Amino acid sequence: MMNGTLKGRSAVVTGSTSGIGLGIARALAAAGANVMLNGLGEAREIETIRAEIEGLHDVKVRYSSADMSQAAQVRDMIGQAEAEFGAVDILVNNAGIQFVSPVESFPEEKWDAILAINLSSNFHSIRAALPGMRRRNWGRIINVASAHGLVASPFKSAYVAAKHGVVGLTKAVALEAAESSVTCNAICPAYVRTPLVEDQIRDQARAHGMSEEDVVREVMLAAQPNKRFVEIDELGELAVFLCSPAASSITGVALPVDGGWTAK
């Protein structure tokens, strides 16, 4: 961990009350950044997380309940962070949902929701945060895409379409902002060991009469050559690196963190 690397910087991390987003928020705070959390959850639990990160790393940590499917709320969240911290130097777009179905029976409302939260929210937050980054001549935008932003799997048409869109948006923003010392990159992880995935393992084991170990190896990690989950801490450390001076010339890149999945 590059402690102090981001001292004086401020970040917004969407979908950060659990899982990948929370791991990235913790890593940014440990590196010295103020952080605006966002996401779903029980108010008392979120306050516990907020206070814990703030106290542990001696940074400001705030929370926004903005609904990522609502453009106005996304804009307001960026404005709230600018008011609380004085700036949004780092924007991590992580919020996302999933639904699995054959395309011909894919519910239209699920398609619309996935595109709104997984793709359009990135556009709205970038649109709101980028002007301030340009004025300060520094910024870091990190979009958490997926290995499914680079390759497809059946029955995930909306998710795959949205994540491919995130990669395209990342490239376009990187080109537009390149002369402003603002970078924009996408992280493309394969399966990450999160509480949500742990629940899926147990559910699939029961449904298929398989051991949890077999579900992991033969179902979830079948396409992943290294046969292990990506760990949340790996993504947090990568996010901190992308915000560091060492990554100043890395922009417009979709970085696979997938154990070799997309190398095939």
Nearest to 107 by CA among 157, 164, 161, 146: 157
Catalytic residue among 111, 159, 229, 261: 159
Nearest to residue 88, comparing CAs of 142, 122, 129?
129
Please answer whether residues 69 and 121 qualify as being in contact, where contact means their C-beta atoms are separated by less than 8 angstroms: yes
d(CA 55, CA 60): 9
159 belongs to the catalytic site: yes
Name the strands in the sheet holding 10-13, side by side, starting at the edge strand that comes first in the sequence. 61-64, 34-38, 10-13, 90-93, 139-144, 182-189, 254-257
Dihedral pair phi/psi, residue 92, rounded to 5°: -115, 110
Q: Point out the residues that are catalytic.
A: 159
